[in-house]
Amino acid sequence: MGLLYRGIFAPDFLYPMVAGDPALRGVSANPAVLADPIQRLLLRLPMLFADVLTGALIFTVARKFIAERFAWLVAFAYWFNPAVLWNATFWGQTDAIHALLILTSFILLIFPRRVGWAFFILGVAAFTKPQALIFGPLLLLAAYKSAKDSKTWRGFRTVARAIFFGALGAALVLLPVIWFGGAQGLLAYFGDTVGHHPILTANAHNLWWFLYRDNIDLQDTMALFPGAPLSFRAFSLGLFGLFYLGALVKAWRAPLEEFFALGAFVAFAFFMLPTEIHENYGYALLPLLALAMTRDTILTLFYVGISATMILNYALHDPTLFARWQLDDPQTQLAAPRWTNSFLNLLLLGAWTLYLFFGARLSRAKTFEIASSGG
């Protein structure tokens, strides 16, 4: 039983990094098993169910803001988003589980204001993908604001409770792995999270692809320029930190319902600015942005735009498509569309930043009005 548990909860299964069929490769290296379509389907089912549940949550929460018929449209916009289908159905990646947990944390904190449960789930999410930790500061601020009087000690007590339950959720995942002898591998794995792919970008069409499309394999520990005090990695993290700080300043005066949009913005900034980012690291922003656009229809443009660039990012780095397209040298043949896609992502980030901080808050369109009692 212990070996089975270790096989299921080994870090490579919780956080797969093998492209093509990561969920299956996490539990087997047998070529016959990897080629079995039934095995491939069965190991995709958890991700498919997670996407179904995520869409259901989107529908349920969207009904608080818009009429039911439009809430269905938002749910379908997530369920049938090509990027969502590509990630879980075609690739078998586990981002769907990660995104479901992140969305659940936001919902629990914003509506019933169950701070303990929200951070317990966030702690679990951190061990599906460590990127969940980027939402920690924003959600801690939401926890502080959720206190009845955030100007008193109650806000700090709420934050302390959030941290405790987050640690408890992480412990739930960690303790069995450690108990069955996985401590050394686990520590080595997470110690290698930053620096595992020490290059400017690991296929993400972001700032670094735009700037260094011909040299994306540069070590991100190199100095920005000869004699510079900062490496690419340090500079990129600092740049992301500035964007995050701006989001926190914006969040300080924002109602909790606006945190869906702020969380999506933080996730996109994380995809665009740090080094070592993979093409699927922006996935968790999709359900958050889907809910955010029910309160602000302008964000629908960003949902559509980011979904389009995300699916292009996936397709332009998918080896199975290279054979179908009969590409002998994809690095050269796809250089122009890859760079163009990174440029479009930069335009989206710039436009979203300007809209978030300087754009007038537009009222929702008539088609997205809150449902009346008659529906």
pLDDT tens digit string along 259-279? 999 999 999 999 999 999 999
Band of residue 365 on the pLDDT scale cut at 50, 70, 90: very low
Query: How many angstroms separate the Cα of 349 from the Cα of each of 199, 290, 296, 352?
Result: 22, 17, 17, 5
Over residues 59-103, the pLDDT tens digits come to: 999 999 999 999 999 999 999 999 999 988 877 788 999 999 999
> Could you identify the residue written with the tokens 């159905």?
89
Amino acid identity of residue 204, one-letter, is A
Over residues 310-342, the pLDDT tens digits come to: 999 999 998 888 888 889 999 899 999 999 999
Q: What is the mean pLDDT of the chain?
A: 83
Helix (H) or strand (E) holding 24: helix 22-25
Structure tokens at 100: 């479901």
> Could you identify the residue written with the tokens 């999410």?
125
Taking residues 301-311, report their average pLDDT: 97
Ordered alpha helix ranges (H), 207-334? 207-211, 232-252, 259-272, 285-292, 299-315, 319-324, 330-333
Amino acid identity of residue 311, one-letter, is I
Q: What pTM did the predictor assign?
A: 0.85
Highest mean pLDDT pick, 170-184, 193-207, 308-322 = 308-322
| Cα 65 from chain centre | 23
Nearest CA to 269 out of 137, 143, 167 is that of 137
Over residues 242-256, the pLDDT tens digits come to: 999 999 999 998 999
Q: Where are the beta strands (DSSP E) in 119-162?
A: none
Q: Coil, strand, or helix at residue 181? A: coil
- Please give the share of the chain, as a percent, with pLDDT higher than 90: 57
Residues 269/340, Cβ–Cβ less than 8 Å: no
